[in-house]
Structure 1
Amino acid sequence: GALKIGAEFINQWFAHAKCYVSDPTWGNHIAIFENADVEVGKYPYYDKETGGVKFDEMVAFLKTLNKDDVILLHPCCHNPTGLDLTHEQWDTVLNVIQEQELIPFMDIAYQGFGEDMDTDAYAIRKAVDMGLTLFVSNSFSKNLSLYGERVGGLSVVCPTKDEAVRVFGQLKFGVRRIYSSPPSHGGHIVDIVMNDETLYNQWVGEVYAMRDRIKAMREQLRSVLESKVEGRDFSYITKQNGMFSFTGLNPEQVAKLQSDYGIYLVSNGRMCVAGLNTNNIEYVANAMADVLAE
């Protein structure tokens, strides 16, 4: 909902602008913006050779873009790679965005699963402190386990109160055209949790417990793979954040995992690390090691 409303607004008021997404990104990002008749391009991000971020290439590419082009960014727990920028890298990217007069669209769906609630929002707060105009879409589907309720929001940070009022009015018109009024049940749950200190603290503690469990699964997966596969560096697995990992497996290896071991990954090698647990981690890791060794 938040992405769709933002995309429709961009198409209406910045019709000449293109939206650039990371290569790769969450597949639905492209579909949502194209469905709103916004032309979509890609900026360099994932380096298959190193398992890291093509940061220099990313920055160089951003410097070639036009005023008011939209840059879709993942503030934390990049989907699908799990690779996040450092604070210093974010500072550089945001400076380029400011210099080029680009419009950042921050999509934060996994706040709390990276480092912590505050650190995961660093890029958003830095952009606001710099006085940038930006869009922020957030979701509580994962970190509040409200996947079936689709609770989230769209925020637009504007330079003046007058502009914010006018933007809000246009966003409401957009909402009216698409779904008129969102379901209230999930929103009420979020409201109760956020405004009760005891519940809020309990929620944050539970999110951090989920974060720590996912990190522990990453550590164990890396450990087994390094013990089974010689001459291969698997440190990228523990450098990634959030629910997902780019495993480095190719489509043929993913297909073999499925056919021979009953293990399902996305064809590009993305794994949902949250699906690992103490009962299946050894089986999955050993299967991956077997496939990689062939």
Structure 2
Amino acid sequence: MLENLTAQPEDAILAMMDAFRADPRADKIDLGVGIYRDAAGTTPVMAAVKQAEQALLDQQATKAYTSLGGDPAFTRAIADLVLADSIDPALVTGVGTVGGTGAVRQGLDLARLANKGATVHIPDPSWPNHRAIVQAVGLGCKTYRYFDAETGGLDHDGLIADLAAISAGDIVLLHGCCHNPTGADPDPAQWDQIIDTIKASGATVMIDLAYLGFGDGLDQDAQATRKIVQQIPEVIIAVSCSKNFGLYRDRAGAVLVTAPTAEAAQTIYGNLATLNRLAYSFPADHGAKVTEMILNDATLRGTWATELSDMRVRINTLRAELATALRDATGSDRFAFLGSQRGMFSRLGATPEQLRILREDHGIYIIGDGRMNIAGLSSKDIPRLAQAIATVCA
């Protein structure tokens, strides 16, 4: 039977990780894989996480199953972090998932159960796994205009025009903040117009919130999501704890859903619990419990919020430094957009041939669509990186 399988396309990011590891050059720069690195080039365990893990080790009395939805205290804590007091808690439900990717998968599977004929509209460009998961669950997939490569900003007019043409019953997938792969986010006025347009269409909203706290701050980054749930009655929110808690390998995430009534929320929860049962039964608890402990302890939460703020400031500082270095190297403001974008990623706008030269001649690894992980930089690498980009992409 297994002889009938065909080879799957290679994952570009994973392939680049392998190529980077095999590269013997000491001055190589990895801007591919989407993880945060500190000035020493490591991805540290956050101090708040270590403290919570030690407390958990001391206090935990059992490793018995929680529930199909995971620990309710975790999903409540995540809902409070994301939504605060923007909506009646009785209208919010959710379950723990296997990371943010699991949250996207379970959220889209829920949409499929509700409407097998739905089409999911994703931004162009978007995280490649969005399209792959939409297709894997059997839903239709279309793109809407989002990014203006000439300016490095939002194609707002194109975005609004495309959203206005979406049908009721379809799903619009939005990046809640820190758009991956471009780093270009709508401003508050643009968000208001996006929300009004979707509301008029009758579509359901799905929000991927993988980088909360990496843009302008926790509350600022959640503001668009909070506005959306106040104005649109059905919203699916995929939340990841990988980046902002540094729990990459512990796979802590949650899918939250807002409903028009408390009764509908209960029905939604039952469907999500069933989807968990079919996929992996009980979601992993360690990372989820650590997250919940941090969010529900004032001291740990303060420590975590400070650490996250330091990470955000460092990323934004790297952005400004790179934009300045590129201005000096090119004698133009061609790359000024890097300084105003937010989150871990930006899109360089280089051709495949230019990216090949950067990789082979300069040891600079950027994935094929030009996405750069700004959070993978160190300040010492910026002058060489800027000079290489100026030389190859001029």
TM-score greater than 0.5 by the shorter chain? yes
The answer as to 2:155 corresponding to 1:46 is no
Question: 1:178-189, aligned counterparts within 5 Å?
Answer: 178-189=279-290
Q: CA deviation at 1:232?
A: 4.4
| Counterpart for residue 184 of structure 2 | 83
Question: 1:196-275, aligned counterparts within 5 Å?
Answer: 196-275=297-376
Question: Separation in 2 of the partners of 1:68 and 1:239?
Answer: 35
| Counterpart for residue 135 of structure 2 | 34
User: Normalised by the size of structure 1, how large is the TM-score?
Assistant: 0.97
Secondary structure of 1:260's counterpart equals: helix
Q: Give CA deviations for 1:83-128 in whole Å, capped at 9, x if unaligned.
A: 0001111111111111111111011000111001011011110012
Q: CA deviation at 1:18?
A: 0.2
| Counterpart for residue 120 of structure 1 | 221
Q: Is the 8 A contact 1:98 1:132 kept in 2?
A: no
| Counterpart for residue 385 of structure 2 | 284
Secondary structure of 2:236's counterpart equals: strand
Q: RMSD of the alignment, in Å?
A: 1.0
Q: State the one-letter code of the partner of 2:378.
A: N
Question: 1:87-166, aligned counterparts within 5 Å?
Answer: 87-166=188-267
Q: Is the 8 A contact 1:221 1:281 kept in 2?
A: yes
Give the unaligned 5+ runs of structure 1: none
Q: Give CA deviations for 1:124-152 in whole Å, capped at 9, x if unaligned.
A: 10012224210001101001000001111
The answer as to 2:92 corresponding to 1:7 is no
The runs of at least 4 aligned residues of structure 1 exceeding 4 Å deviation read: none
Q: CA deviation at 1:191?
A: 1.1
Secondary structure of 1:77's counterpart equals: coil
Secondary structure of 1:153's counterpart equals: strand
Q: Give CA deviations for 1:183-239 in whole Å, capped at 9, x if unaligned.
A: 111111101111111110111111111111111111111111111113442211011
Secondary structure of 2:292's counterpart equals: helix
Secondary structure of 2:219's counterpart equals: helix
Q: Is the 8 A contact 2:327 2:336 kept in 1?
A: no
* Greater relative CO (CA pairs within 8 A, separation 6+): 2
User: Normalised by the size of structure 2, how large is the TM-score?
Assistant: 0.73
Question: Separation in 2 of the partners of 1:131 and 1:224?
Answer: 43
Question: Separation in 1 of the partners of 2:333 and 2:364?
Answer: 22
| Counterpart for residue 28 of structure 2 | none
Larger radius of gyration: 2
Question: Separation in 2 of the partners of 1:202 and 1:286?
Answer: 38
Q: Give CA deviations for 1:136-170 in whole Å, capped at 9, x if unaligned.
A: 01101001000001111000000100000011111
Q: State the one-letter code of the partner of 2:106.
A: I
Tell me which of 53, 63, 68 is aligned to 2:169: 68
Q: Is the 8 A contact 1:229 1:292 kept in 2?
A: no
Q: CA deviation at 1:72?
A: 0.5
Q: CA deviation at 1:48?
A: 1.4
The answer as to 2:276 corresponding to 1:175 is yes
Question: Separation in 1 of the partners of 2:176 and 2:246?
Answer: 20
Q: Give CA deviations for 1:222-257 in whole Å, capped at 9, x if unaligned.
A: 111111113442211011100011112221111110
Question: Separation in 1 of the partners of 2:160 and 2:233?
Answer: 18
% same residue: 38
Secondary structure of 1:136's counterpart equals: strand
Q: CA deviation at 1:278?
A: 2.1
Question: Separation in 2 of the partners of 1:132 and 1:55?
Answer: 24
Q: CA deviation at 1:279?
A: 2.3
Number of residues of Structure 1 aligned to a counterpart in Structure 2: 293
Question: Separation in 2 of the partners of 1:268 and 1:22?
Answer: 15
